[in-house]
Every structure is written in structure tokens, then in C-alpha cells.
A and B are shown apart, each in its own frame.
Chain A
Amino acid sequence: MPGVMDIKRKIKSVKNTQKITKAMKMVSAARMRKAEEAMTNARAYANKIYELVGGIAGRVEADSHPLLVARKDVKNVCLAIITSDKGLCGAFNSNVVKKTLAFARENQDKNIKLICIGKKAFDFLGKKEFEVLEKYVSFGGKITYDEANEIGDKLVAYFLSEDVDEVHIVHNEFKSTAYQVAKVTKVLPLVLEKQEETADTTDYIYEPQAEALLKEIMPRYINFTVFFSILESIAGEHGSRMVAMDNAARNAGEVITKLTLTFNKARQSAITNEILDIVNGAEALNG
């Protein structure tokens, strides 16, 4: 049986850990609220731009823009992998990594190139046999639209230069605080869902021509998709960390309860032993 002092030290250490996990949970909760707000703000733009692109796409030829043309022979596939920079957020990052590896297994005949967004993606996958085209690390859990633009422009440039024939984004979709799903989304070539022509979309005036407008909208659409995916990932990261830290704090609580019980037992038996010693001594003297 470990000594009383040892147990006491152990309890103290677990209590400290619990304090840290509780603090981290609180911080994550605050950050998640912020990230969620950013997402809500972006959603107004999201709905509108999807609608616009869908509306225009119905009125132009499918091959009128190089970003729309699907290549017959897909050899090189680019995966843009979005993870967090920091760990301690449960299975958040490993889910994305698993999804990536699964994708690679399914597409063994293709050459997979990576763009790592977030440090963890690079840490895990950079060591594997994949070619890493770009890496963007240390966002610090924040992203500005300009930064996302930069990444989006890169994706488009790789696609247009025919270095890659398809671009997919792998990221955690934000379903709710405690629930994120790793998802692979194809972004290039763009597959546009044609909207049904309704009376009020048919007689639009386009300035300039629809094709020219599409040229303006398309890069923005891609950049925005990247931006939104990263926002989702950030919100997910904090949500996931919050849950992970909550669990950790609860586990620490359980450990403390158990250790306290052991500590009390040890203390009790020490006292009993001491009394026994005294009684025995007195008995011996009385003889």
C-alpha cells in the first residue's frame, strides 16, 4: 500500500490537471461562440453566392469556363486538408487524417498531392509518402478572408496549370458543438447544380454577359468555399476541444474521488497501527 504522503501528492497533481482542463474548456467555449458567430455572419453571403452561381450556371454552356471542365483522364488529385494547429481536441484531427488515408486507399491509381492547412495535417501526413504542395500553419485559430483568398487562388492556379486534375477539400463539417463529421468535398472542377428555371430568374439583365460574370464569380466562389470550410473547421475544433476537456475534467474528478478514498483508508490504517503499537507497549509494561 502506497504511503499517505504519496497519495496526497498524487491527489494534488490530479487536481492541478483538472484545473487546467476546466480552464481550457472555458476558453474553448468562448472561442467557439466567436467562431460560430463568424460562421453565422458568413452564412448570409454563402446562401447568396451559391444561389447566384447556380442561377447563372443554368444559362451558360458547361464548358464555357476552364474551372468547369471535367478532365477525362484524372491522374493527379489535390487534397486540401484542413485541421487545427493544436491538439487536445479529441478525435477531431485524426478523423480528418483517417478520411484522407481512406480516400488515398480508394484512389490508389491516382497520384495524390496535399495542401496542408493547419499544423496537425502536416505533422501526420507530411511524413507519409504523399507529395506536399503547400502548407499553411499557425493560423492561431483565426482566419481572415484575405488569407483564405490566398489559399483559394493557389488551388485555382494548381488546377489551371494542370498540375492537378481535381481538387478536393477534406475538413470537419460543423454539425453541432459536440458533433463534427469529416468530409471530402470536390471543389474543382466545379459541379454546378442547375436550378430550375422559374419565371423570375429567366429574364435577368446581365451586365456584362453571363459568361463574363461567371468568370468574376467563379474564383470568389472557390475562395469563399475555402474560407467557409476553414471557419467550420475552427468552430469544430473548439467545439471538439470543449467536449474533450469536459470529459477530461470529469475523469479527473473520478480519479480524485478514488484517490481520496484510498488516502482515507491508508490514514485510517496508519492510525489503527499506531494505536495498536501503544496498546501493545502498555500491555507489555503491565506484563
Chain B
Amino acid sequence: MAETVRLELVTPVRQILSEDVDEVIAPGVEGDLGVLPDHAPLLTALRVGELAYRIKGKLEYVAIVGGGFLEVNNNRVIVLADDAELGHEIDLEEAVQRKLKAEAALERERKADEKTFKAVEIELMKELIRVQIAEKYKGAK
């Protein structure tokens, strides 16, 4: 019986995480899912959202901004994300600014065609997640 799972988070640009953690909570396309040690092999797609992991009893957060996949196999959790950011790396003020910009863009596109509206909506969702996560780290700094 393994005590921990190995969490590896990679994007096309860099490897973000490689750590032994107690638990991973990921935003799957069909709902959030938790992964504990000795989880059955699994492959799922991820949506834009918040990935949390518990390390030594403490929860840490990562913003998954771009969707991706999660694979569980042999006590290894591998997350392939289009883009991701560690919670404590996000600057709250900057995140809020970007969110406001995205909201304004959404307002502008409201009348435009469906396709760009959808794209802008996704952008806003990403920014919202970033703000949410940055706020969790507000007290820590």
C-alpha cells in the first residue's frame, strides 16, 4: 500500500510540478475527481479549472488554464495541460486586471457572432479561475 502518489504536471512549455503528494483533486470534464494512493488506472480529459493537491496535510492549488488530460497509473498522476500556473505564482492584482479586461471583451463581443463569443467566454473563465486561486494565497504573502 503506497503512502503517496507522484504528481507530475507538464505543459508543452515546461514541467511545472513533480512531487509526491497525498491526494490530487482535479477538474475532470465529467466532474471533479479525487485521486488517492492506489487509484485504479484512469485517463480523463480536464476542463479549465482548479487543480488541488494535498502535500503533508496542506492543500496547494494550481490553475489549469487551457484544458488537458490526466492519467493515473501505478501511483503516478500525470497531468498534461495546455497551460497551467502555480497558485502562489499568480499575482492577484494582475489577475484581477486581466479578468476585468476579459469581462469588457465579453461585453463587446456579446453582439458579435457566436463563435468569437464562445472563445472570449472561455478566456474569461480562465481569468476567473486565476483570480479565484490567487485569492486563496492572498493571506500567505
Contact = CB atoms under 8 A, between A and B. Distances in A.
B43 A52 contact: yes
B135 interface: no
Counting contact residues on chain B (CB < 8 A from A), the size range is 20 to 34
Contacts of B12: 42, 45, 145, 224, 227-228
B42 A216 contact: no
A205 B45 contact: no
Interface string A198-236: 001101111110001100110010001001100000000
Which residue among B33, B45, B83 has the maximum number of chain A CB atoms within 10 Å of its CB? Answer: B45
Interface string B73-90: 110001010110000000
A42 B13 contact: yes
B41 A204 contact: yes
B30 interface: yes
Contacts of B71: 48, 52
A45 B11 contact: yes
B43 A56 contact: yes
Contacts, number: 72
Interface in B1-33: 8, 10-15, 28-30, 33
A269 to B, nearest CB: 64
Contact of A220 (B8, B29, B40, B82): B82
Contacts of A200: 41, 73-74
Interface in A37-58: 38, 41-42, 44-45, 48-49, 52, 55-56
Nearest to B74: A200
B140 to A, nearest CB: 27
Given A41-B13, A52-B43, A208 B29 contact: yes
Contacts of B29: 207-208
A145 B13 contact: yes
A204 B10 CA distance: 21
Given A44-B15, A145-B12, A216-B69, A201 B41 contact: yes
B35 to A, nearest CB: 11
B14 A216 contact: no
Contacts of A206: 42-44
B45 A49 contact: no
Contact of A203 (B14, B40, B45, B69): B40
Nearest to A206: B43
A44 B10 CA distance: 7
Interface in A14-31: none
Nearest to A145: B12
A51 to B, nearest CB: 9
Contacts of A203: 40-41
A44 B15 CA distance: 7
A207 B74 contact: no
23 contacts: A38-B13, A44-B8, A44-B15, A45-B10, A48-B10, A52-B71, A145-B13, A145-B83, A203-B41, A204-B42, A204-B73, A205-B41, A205-B43, A206-B42, A207-B29, A207-B33, A208-B30, A208-B44, A213-B43, A213-B44, A213-B69, A216-B67, A228-B12
Q: Which 3 A-B pairs have the closest CB atoms?
A: A207-B44, A205-B42, A41-B14
